Amino acid sequence: MDAPLAITRGEGWARLTLQRSKKRNALNRALRLALIDALEALEGQARAIVIDAEGPAFCAGLDLKEREADKAAGNMTGADEEWRRLVLALRGHPAVLIAAVEGMAIGAGMTLVNVADLAIAHRDATFALPEARLGSYASLSGPTSQPELTRKQAAFLLLSDERLDAATACGWGLVNEVRDDGVVARAEQLAARVAGYDPAVVTAIKRALDAAPGAERNLAASLAFGREVNRALRRTTDAADRALAAFASGTARS
């Protein structure tokens, strides 16, 4: 089996490439754990990390077939804990994270963009949160998107089931730049520049981004909130179960 993640090292920086292109780089357990392991291995080794993906999609979100299997096996809690670990590992990493987005970033794929410090997108990239159609709240992408958006922007993203184009995402502050080509090269250029800074300076700026007055965010509490929204939903409706079953059987509405 091919490795789900490739690691490329530069001088003081690294690139993590999602390698599940046949599954549109959906984040299954193997890829989640590979990302967590890679982030741990790069602590103190890289001052900047680029996250990109092979193939035409950046990331289509979570692996819904695996999610259905986890549900059937009673392993939803374990999977949710892995997601929490991954998001906190990404946002809390001492390196500057730079997302290089080509193709779709859907659901949890948007989470990878949201928790990055910088994001460069191809002009044809698209962004969406389809969780409402799937019977749930975007418990990862919602809490990581909403602080960057107005309430109406967040409502559109969470409720419309429509894709944002890259220009709109940039205008809303979800990405920094939109390019016609050279997305990964631009991300690597920024990574190399950050790698040339004093490590203490990078660490101080990363901390200041979240700790400055008015910018404080408790990501762990936000993720716990998102998870509780979905737990409450499951107590009142089986919409998520029906949507997952439809996807697994190939009858889901696209």
Would you list the DSSP string of 134-192? TTS--TTHHHHHGGGS-HHHHHHHHHS--PEEHHHHHHTTS-SEEESS-HHHHHHHHHH
Q: Is 151 exposed, middle or buried (0-12, 13-18, 19+ CB in 10 A)?
A: exposed
* pLDDT higher than 90, residue 146: no
176-207 pLDDT tens trace: 999 999 999 999 999 999 999 999 999 899 88
Is 60 exceeded by the pLDDT of residue 60? Answer: yes
CA 177 from chain centre, in angstroms, equals 17
**What local confidence, expressed as pLDDT, does residue 250 receive?**
67
State the pLDDT at residue 154: 94
Question: Is pLDDT at 213 greater than 90 in this prediction?
Answer: no
Per-residue pLDDT tens for 105-119?
999 999 999 999 999
Buried b (16+ CB within 10 A) or exposed e, 196-219: eeeeeebeeebeeeeeeeeeeeeb
Tell me: pLDDT of 240 over 80.
no
Residue 69 confidence (pLDDT):
82
pLDDT of residue 212 exceeding 80: no
Q: Which domains does the chain possess?
A: 5-195+219-249 (3.90.226.10)
Residue among 18, 196, 164, 173 at smallest CA distance from 90: 18
The answer to whether 183 touches 124, Cβ cutoff 8 Å, is no
pLDDT reading at 231 higher than 80:
no
Q: Average pLDDT of 128-155? A: 90
The mean pLDDT of 128-148, rounded to a whole number, is 88
Can you tell me the distance from the alpha carbon of 130 to that of 117, in angstroms, rounded to the nearest whole number?
A: 24
What pLDDT sits at residue 59?
Answer: 98
Mean pLDDT, residues 27-41: 97
